[in-house]
Amino acid sequence: MTLMHPEFKRNEAVGLDLGWINQIRVNRAATDRRAASLANRRTVKKEYQAAWLVKAIQMIDLTTLGGDDTPGRVERLCMKAMRPLRADLMAALGLTELSTGAVCVYHEMIAPAVQVIQGRLPIAAVSTGFPAGLTSMETKLREIELSVAAGASEIDIVITRQHVLNGNWQVLYDEMLAYRKACGEAHVKAILATGDLLTMENVAKASWVCMMAGADFIKTSTGKEGVNATIPVALTMVRTIREYHEQTGFQVGFKPAGGVSSAKSALQYLTLMKEELGNEWLQPHLFRIGASSLLTDIERQLEHYVTGSYSANHRHAQP
């Protein structure tokens, strides 16, 4: 299952334009100033904040990617994804239906996720030697095929960072093109691991190459790097998405991941998307937040809105 609008046209490979890639520059000082303006402004309050937080829940890829994952943990994650808020909060907010955007798991955990979700939500699987991406190409492609066959409708791939660091854009393009082909009808999110890419120009160029090769989403991080999602990196990436749409007509999604754990940070990313790309991108088929603990903080904030009091984390079901 994918959360896709019927009229949405999926991104297609458009061919690698090295002339365009080589001329890309990023004004880091201007990027940092714009990012600081987002981080420092006052957030929306009261019922407006509650509405935005409910919107944020719909964008979450609820994630568990631990070496100690078990089928039981994944089953709990899936139940939480399908019922992210307690019944009393749902009633108080006037909500009858609500779910996260998807769940995100390792390949081995697709089967228990399928058993619980039964087609009601998309299942995303991390692939291609996640998180380092340093297995053979044959292994990476086979891993994608196996995950799709097991029931994953979205594949979060990791690019080979050395291609970016060495400026091997044609090799990166060919790699991404092969991943897209292996995914078939499953949508592919290209994880750039931006914390490993050293410069904003590399982030922008890698974003463009992956989109040119047909990526449905570009994603900041695996969550395993030393530095994961940041507002300056997100700003750089969403501006490449805007430019790509202006040039090709294709809409590509964006997914920040790693370290997005507070309701306040989620609101910053929603604001960024609204101001840089518009309301059209504030939909699960074009925006996701990869997170594991974010949902708990959002639920606490919504309980405060309803009751006037903050509750302890342990009062909220953990995925």
In-domain check, residue 92: yes
Q: What sign does the dihedral 225-163-123-230 (CA atoms) show? A: positive
pLDDT over 90 (residue 1): no
Q: What is the pTM of this model?
A: 0.94
Percent over 90 (pLDDT), the chain: 90
Q: How many domains does the chain have?
A: 1
80 is annotated as an active-site residue: no
- Residue 43: pLDDT band by 50, 70, 90 thresholds? confident
Sheet hosting strand 253-255, strand order edge to edge: 253-255, 217-219, 187-191, 154-158, 123-126, 102-105, 60-63, 289-291
Q: pLDDT tens-digit profile of 234-283?
A: 999 999 999 999 999 999 999 999 999 999 999 999 999 999 999 999 99
Q: How confident is the model at residue 31 (pLDDT cuts 50, 70, 90)?
A: very high
Q: Which of 156, 196, 216, 297 is catalytic?
A: 156
Dmax (CA) of the chain: 57
Residue at 315 is within a domain: no
Q: Which residue range is the domain that position 99 belongs to? A: 18-307
Residue 7's pLDDT band, with cuts at 50, 70 and 90, is: low
* pLDDT at residue 8, rounded to an integer: 77
Is 255 part of the annotated catalytic residue set? yes
Is residue 233 pLDDT above 80, yes or no?
yes
Q: Residue 45 — pLDDT band, cuts 50, 70, 90?
A: confident
- CATH code where residue 279 lies: 3.20.20.70
Residue 108 lies inside a defined structural domain of this protein: yes
The string of pLDDT tens digits covering residues 270-299 is 999 999 999 999 999 999 999 999 999 999
At 318 the pLDDT is 57
pLDDT attached to residue 56: 98
Q: What is the pLDDT of residues 185-212, one digit of tens each?
A: 999 999 999 999 999 999 999 999 999 9
Report the C-alpha gap between 260 and 283 in whole angstroms.
18
Residue 172 lies inside a defined structural domain of this protein: yes
Query: What pLDDT is recorded for position 315?
Result: 62
**For residue 202, is it within any domain?**
yes
Helices and strands (DSSP H and E) totals, the chain? 13, 8
Contact in structure between 81 and 103 (CB atoms under 8 Å): yes
Catalytic residue chosen out of the listed positions 80, 216, 255, 297 = 255
The pLDDT, as a whole number, for residue 308 is 87
Mean pLDDT of 82-105: 96
Q: How buried is residue 306: exposed, middle or buried, by Cβ count under 10 Å (0-12/13-18/19+)? A: middle
Catalytic annotation on 156? yes
Is position 9 within any domain? no
In a domain, 7, yes or no: no
Instruction: Over range 72-77, report the average pLDDT.
Output: 97
Average pLDDT (141-166) is 98
How high does pLDDT run on average in the chain? 94
Give residue 299's pLDDT.
95
Token pair belonging to 16: 């690698």
Model confidence band, residue 33 (pLDDT cutoffs 50, 70, 90): very high
What's the mean pLDDT in 49-73? 97
Query: One of 80, 189, 205, 219 is an active-site residue; which one?
Result: 219
Mean pLDDT on 23-32: 95
